[in-house]
Structure 1
Amino acid sequence: MTNSSNTQAVDTAYSASKRDMRRILASSLIGTALEYYDFILYATAAGIVFNRIFFTNLDPTAALVLSFATLAAGYVARPLGGVIFGHLGDKVGRKTVLMATIVVMGVTSTLIGLLPATDQIGIWAPALLVTLRVVQGIAVGGEWGGATLVGFENAKKRSRGFASAFSYMGAPTGTLVGTLILAGMATMPDEQFLSWGWRVPFILSAAFMMIAVFIRRKVTESKVFLEAAERAPQHRKTPLVELVRHHWRPLLRAFAVGISCQGAQGLMGAWAVAYVVQQAAHEQSLVLVLKASAAVTTILFIIIASRMSDRFGRRRILMFGNILGIALAFPIMMMLQTDNVVLFFFAVFLGLSVVQGFSAGPYGAYAGEQFPTSVRNSGASVAYQFAATAGAGFTPMIATALAAAGGGSLWLVSLLWIGFALISLIGLMTGKDRSNLDLTELDGKPAQATPAAAVPAPR
């Protein structure tokens, strides 16, 4: 059998049917959209609400920094979620983990919407806010890896990049829905918005959660995972230990490559909104609508970049995205400093849609291709979530301090962005492109089809 025939046979043996694939991709998109609806909703509210609700009687800049510190707490917890749920995903299956993370996130976000303010219960308010944010971080830390790999492991090789990108499309989709709802609430009189209007989007999480659970109930495990589970029974598997001992180089590589897209999200998805609102350059409702508009084009560029990665390779497209980030860092920050609403939108469009689209769209497949099936969920989840913490968790807080240190100029923030892109470029240059390998070759075996459909599910 020729190598081409082998590859086609592997695709046939391991890929899902078209009907199942549509269900899998819908599950990845909708479930992850809910997770990021909640997570990014918090990021937006941290910049325009929480500093006035939970950190009162403070200097405005100090209140904003503390509010962003609670945002960072969620990002710090994300690697813990990646470790816990990534390990479980490799032991008991991707589907079980995805059901758990969606319920935890939905319940936690609803509780945030019901949380009393500081003037009602004192110090308990910010303490409970931080606690709930940490739980949010653990849930979203376990979500991305499983959602990405369900698409990755069920797709044919020629469309792995596109299938893996659906989980990443969930982030701007959730951002779009959450930001539009929050923007609608922000048109209310300020007193009503701060009293109860901001709570509505969080409480709606309960309804969205039930929809996502219903869809995910119908998703099946990937055939390649079931085969790997049969070869290595669950009680003998220690995927996290195996990952650290034998796959630490690809783990570091995947971590480095993921930093730049997370840096773009932290800067343009959270910090930039708070910056322009605090500078009183634009009304907060208008800023939120413009950010939501950029989320639509972000989805478009993620699709373009992931499709291109299936044709030209993951490494090449990711390098292009990072070089673009370096070239546009200073121009984007210069646009943010103006009071021109058109330039603000263009800055968010370039930063969130174009730069993040090309540096994030192919990342899910790139991360999945760094690891064998036995540790893929652990490896992809841990790398991505540590990258999220390093690239986005503290970025809004650091950027706020850098803007103040620059005396109003944002050149220091530009250097921060360039630093993220350089780290990712170095990571990309240390490894080869693996997008041309099929699933068995990623496991270190020759391209040989196995009747995986006949493999029994793990008990």
Structure 2
Amino acid sequence: MVATSPKSDLRYTWKVTASSFLGNTLEYYDFLVYGTAAAVVFPKVFFPDASGFVATLSAFGTFAVGFLARPLGGLYFGSRGDRHGRKSTLMITLVVMGLSTILIGLLPGYGTIGIWAPILLVVLRLLQGFAVGGEWGGSMIIVLESAPPRRRGFFSAWPNTGGFSAQILITGVFAYVYTLSDEQLLSWGWRIPFLLSAVVLVVTYWMRRSLSETPVFTEAVATQDTKQANPIRRIFVDDWRNLLLIVGLRFAEALPYFLLTVFALSYGSGPLGLDKGQLNTAILISAVLAFVSHGVFAAISDRIGRRPVYFFGAVVVFVMAFPFFAMLHSGSMVLIVLGYVLVLNVGHNAINAIQPAFYAELFPAERRYTGAAAGREIASIFAGGLTPFIATALAGEDGTRWPLVAAYVMVGAVVTMVAVYKAPESFRRDLTATGTSVR
């Protein structure tokens, strides 16, 4: 039986989609504003005694720390969401995530409280990562389970554009921040982007309060005792193959994204001597185009399946690894923008658009939140959070070893292509099915 609800119409679906979009905008804003600050400001504010190269590595190390907490958040909040509901869990992740980011913006620097500054930074980053680990899975699933069956890919793609809407916000805020003097930037200017997340937090909290539980979860509760189930144990016993698949599937999505939006800012403005505004403009153009490309790729996946579109994106990432660096090294604004568009809007977006539906459809209703969230966040450690750190180390202090970074991306793309080949097709699956995962 297909779960139904008096609110399962398109108007309500769009409302759920909008609230999830804002929640993911806050998620990515919080994480990416940290990445931008880590590339530009944090080495001087929190690690002033280290050399430039070591300070940058240290700042990117704290960026990676947030990803270490994400799997724990995915497991904890995923299990809670599968037992007690998607909506109430998402309210908690939203508040913890937003408050952690605001507190980072209020944190004194090394010059004020010494070693406690980087220590508290790491603690808040861990809290931020813990909440984010549960936010993505829940916000995607609440849309997926409320959308029309034949348009699940299309609707669940929009919340996943939160990274790009966040990038637009970050680019706009830092465009102002970069106009400040170095003294103003290092004393109070860098705090502005973190404190502004309070606006998105308040708006999203207000919208989520009026949402209802998904009809799929409601039916799962009616057919079995979800509170007595142990979704964490079952995903590792019954769904371990799909967890491994998700880890592989993430490489061609996360590597290029964090490479272009975090590492390239440090690498381009450092060893290459490019203007920060030039790189931010390229990111902004890609962020705007992402809304179109996500809608197109997601709609195609609802017609022909998730696997062909996903594989296409991985191939583009593989092919563009070396050409992107050539375009970046050219210093030409036109070529830099073209590189960003090809890697992000064609390669990455083809993957990112269908990722929510593809991952969630692999798991049965009673452990969907746990499986999708935990799988994605475990993969985040290897395929996302370590990317800026590894890329910086591979490129070297003077950036001359950049071919190693390009090869790193190509290897990740190959891993994803193998995972797609091994993955089952899921776009016609009945979401109300319980008991077994898709294999």
Query: Structure 1 counterpart of 2:30, which letter?
Result: D
User: Match of 1:229?
Assistant: 221
Residue 390 of structure 1: which of 382, 402, 410 is its match? 382
TM-superposed deviation, 1:233: 2.0
User: Match of 1:245?
Assistant: 237
- 1:69 and 1:397 in contact (8 A); partners too: yes
User: Does 2:315 correspond to 1:323?
Assistant: yes
User: Match of 2:57?
Assistant: 65
Q: 1:14 to 1:430 in 2, by over 3 A?
A: farther
TM-superposed deviation, 1:135: 0.8
User: Match of 1:451?
Assistant: none
User: Match of 2:351?
Assistant: 359
Query: Structure 2 counterpart of 1:122, which letter?
Result: G
Query: Structure 1 counterpart of 2:193, which letter?
Result: P
Q: How does 1:150-165 map to 2 (within 5 A)?
A: 150-165=142-157
The CA distance in 2 between the partners of 1:115 and 1:161, in whole Å, is 40
Q: Structure 1: which 4+ aligned runs deviate by more than 3 Å?
A: 9-15, 440-445
Q: 1:149 to 1:436 in 2, by over 3 A?
A: same
Identity %: 36
TM-superposed deviation, 1:152: 0.7
The CA distance in 2 between the partners of 1:120 and 1:405, in whole Å, is 29
The CA distance in 1 between the partners of 2:242 and 2:7, in whole Å, is 25
User: Match of 2:294?
Assistant: 302
Q: Cα RMSD between the aligned structures?
A: 1.9
The CA distance in 2 between the partners of 1:406 and 1:422, in whole Å, is 28
User: Match of 2:140?
Assistant: 148
User: Match of 1:196?
Assistant: 188
User: Match of 2:393?
Assistant: 401
User: Match of 2:85?
Assistant: 93
User: Match of 2:403?
Assistant: 411
TM-superposed deviation, 1:44: 0.9
- 1:106 and 1:205 in contact (8 A); partners too: yes
TM-score of the superposition, structure 1-length normalised? 0.91
TM-score of the superposition, structure 2-length normalised? 0.95
TM-superposed deviation, 1:234: 3.8
TM-superposed deviation, 1:427: 1.1
User: Does 2:360 correspond to 1:338?
Assistant: no
> Secondary structure of the residue that 1:220 maps to in structure 2?
coil
Q: Deviations over 1:122-174 (max 9, x none)?
A: 11111111111111111111100000001111112211101111221111111
User: Does 2:176 correspond to 1:184?
Assistant: yes
Query: Structure 2 counterpart of 1:261, which letter?
Result: E
User: Match of 1:279?
Assistant: 271
TM-superposed deviation, 1:232: 2.2
User: Does 2:104 correspond to 1:112?
Assistant: yes
The CA distance in 1 between the partners of 2:434 and 2:17, in whole Å, is 22
Query: Structure 2 counterpart of 1:328, which letter?
Result: M
- 2:161 and 2:291 in contact (8 A); partners too: yes
The CA distance in 1 between the partners of 2:163 and 2:272, in whole Å, is 27
Residue 259 of structure 1: which of 251, 258, 271 is its match? 251
TM-superposed deviation, 1:322: 0.3
Q: Say which is worse superposed, 182-191 or 366-375, in terms of deviation.
A: 182-191
- 2:3 and 2:219 in contact (8 A); partners too: no
Residue 170 of structure 1: which of 139, 162, 166 is its match? 162
Q: Say which is worse superposed, 332-341 or 46-55, in terms of deviation.
A: 332-341
User: Does 2:229 correspond to 1:220?
Assistant: no
User: Match of 1:35?
Assistant: 27
TM-superposed deviation, 1:441: 4.9
The CA distance in 2 between the partners of 1:128 and 1:258, in whole Å, is 30
Query: Structure 2 counterpart of 1:64, which letter?
Result: T
The CA distance in 1 between the partners of 2:85 and 2:51, in whole Å, is 48
The CA distance in 1 between the partners of 2:57 and 2:414, in whole Å, is 26
- 1:369 and 1:442 in contact (8 A); partners too: no
TM-superposed deviation, 1:327: 0.8
The CA distance in 2 between the partners of 1:101 and 1:11, in whole Å, is 26
Q: Deviations over 1:207-235 (max 9, x none)?
A: 22111100011111111111111222243
> Secondary structure of the residue that 1:154 maps to in structure 2?
coil
Residue 281 of structure 2: which of 275, 289, 292 is its match? 289
User: Does 2:33 correspond to 1:44?
Assistant: no
Q: How does 1:418-429 map to 2 (within 5 A)?
A: 418-429=410-421
Query: Structure 1 counterpart of 2:337, which letter?
Result: F
Q: Say which is worse superposed, 248-257 or 436-445, in terms of deviation.
A: 436-445
